[in-house]
Amino acid sequence: MQSNRRQVFAALLAAAAARKVKGADTPAVPGKRPMILHNDRPEDLETPVKYFDSWVTPIDAFFVRQHLPRPAAVDPAAYRLNLTGLVSKPLQVSLADLQNLPQHTLPATLECTGNGRAFYTPKLPGIQWGRGAVGNAEWSGPRLSDVLKLAGVDPAARFLEIDGADTGVMQTPDFVRSMPMEKALHPATLLALKMNGQSPDIHGFPARLIVPGWDGTSWVKWVVRLAPVAKESGGFFMNPGYRYPKYHLPPGTAARPVELEVIEGMPVKSTLTAPEDGSKAVLGPIVIRGFAWAGENAVERVEVSIDGGARWRNAQLSAQKLPFAWRLFTLNWTPQEPGYYTVMSRATDTAGRVQPIVPPWNPSGYLWNGIDRVGVTVEKA
């Protein structure tokens, strides 16, 4: 009885909450189209798949992930980047100094480490991202190695520590990350001042780290401090945050902390953007679309199935076959009969990695890269 009443009450509460939310206007995020609103303070926004219709994702449709409250607006003239730690001469670098270094542009896919978390069972705490915590942009700025050269890196430094301007409330840990020096000095690793030729704004103005092929958590926003260090940094967002079990675990079980590793390169993955899951289509030609990416590798092939994975056909891929950046794919399909179809996509990369049917469950719900799958009902006109 108790239990029944509790359920009824809970349902009433939920209904009241839903009414309240529906009645009020949902918040708008400056500069953004309507986005899937996982959180409003701080903003966590997912791109609806229907916006993914171009190789470069426009800023107004690009996903947003924030752990901590967004830092106050930066005055470009007052901005300083601190170069400290194991360097020959500690330095404070202005935005003009960064703009005076040789500028490079790199197209690269940025994906939140937790993109697809909602597809794991059992469920995991965290933002319940579906398909859209990913985007492909053209990032421009100096090489991180050129920035570090200004201060001179001590050869004893094995890692680079990076701090963003965002800080937590009360005892929330600061967002500090580190990466091996080798990746920091890689010629493709940039300190971006521009995103698609514009100011990156909510995406990390005035300076954002671009760590091509690695998960989003390494791409620190609002960078204010770079410090070459001897050892990997501690701090919540390095440990236990953003770690992945070395050995796969039975779903729903805990990992041994010593067996959790820092995530580096991303796996191979494809995402269907059309038709949309649960949609209806009229009997006739249908274009199946999507995109595929593979961390530090390039995408070699995408196969599509329209019969639940029994038979696979090669999709057409966009011409540019680059490491770090996604490729768009399409397949023209003319169903002969009405009915419900399960459409699937499976990518293979240049290193021969293939998307699995079942991605390994892990305690934080990271790196979902299962073969994508949507259902579409085809009806007679």
For binding to another protein (CB under 8 A), which residues are involved?
2-3, 5-7, 9-10, 13-14, 17-18, 21, 25-42, 44-46, 48, 60, 69, 118, 122-123, 125-128, 168-173
For 183, the 3-state DSSP assignment is: helix
Alpha-carbon distance 354 to 30, whole Å? 39
Closest CA to 291 of 191, 372, 173: 372
Nearer to another protein, 9 or 282 (CB): 9
Binding mask 113-142 for ligand HEC (x = CB under 6 A): ------------xx----------------
The distance in angstroms from the start CA to the end CA of the chain is: 51
Give the one residue of 32, 38, 67, 177 binding ligand HEC; rule: CB under 6 A: 67
Residue 225's binding partner out of another protein, ligand HEC, none, with CB under 5 to 8 Å set by partner kind: none
Partners of 162 in beta bridges: 177, 226
Residue 284's binding partner out of another protein, ligand HEC, none, with CB under 5 to 8 Å set by partner kind: none
User: Which residues inside 148-177 make contact with ligand HEC, applying CB under 6 A?
Assistant: 168-170, 172
Nearer to ligand HEC, 175 or 326 (CB): 175
Nearer to another protein, 59 or 317 (CB): 59
Nearer to ligand HEC, 123 or 280 (CB): 123
For 319-360, list the strands marked E by DSSP.
327-333, 339-349
Closest CA to 354 of 362, 363, 345: 345
Alpha-carbon distance 52 to 380, whole Å? 28
Nearer to ligand HEC, 92 or 172 (CB): 172
| DSSP code for 10 | H
- Asked if residues 207 and 192 have their Cβ atoms less than 8 Å apart, the reply is yes
Residue 28's binding partner out of ligand HEC, another protein, none, with CB under 5 to 8 Å set by partner kind: another protein
Alpha-carbon distance 357 to 352, whole Å? 16
Q: H/E element holding 3?
A: helix 2-23
Output the residue with the shortest Cβ distance to ligand HEC.
Answer: 67
Nearer to ligand HEC, 167 or 314 (CB): 167
Residue 248's binding partner out of another protein, ligand HEC, none, with CB under 5 to 8 Å set by partner kind: none
Nearer to ligand HEC, 67 or 327 (CB): 67
Q: What single string gives the DSSP state of each residue in 136-150?
A: EEEEEE-BHHHHHHT
Residue 42's binding partner out of another protein, ligand HEC, none, with CB under 5 to 8 Å set by partner kind: another protein
Tokens of 339: 């009915």
Residue 41's binding partner out of ligand HEC, another protein, none, with CB under 5 to 8 Å set by partner kind: another protein
Residue 37's binding partner out of another protein, ligand HEC, none, with CB under 5 to 8 Å set by partner kind: another protein
Residues 6 or more apart in contact with residue 202 via CB below 8 angstroms: 29, 30, 31, 32, 43, 64, 70
Closest CA to 101 of 81, 127, 71: 81
Least separation in angstroms between CB 299 and another protein: 29
Amino acid residing at 1? M
Alpha-carbon distance 188 to 154, whole Å? 21
Least separation in angstroms between CB 43 and another protein: 8
Per DSSP bridges, beta strands 223-229 and 80-83 are: parallel
Least separation in angstroms between CB 77 and ligand HEC: 31
Nearer to another protein, 236 or 312 (CB): 236
| Positions in the binding site for ligand HEC (CB under 6 A) | 67-68, 125-126, 168-170, 172
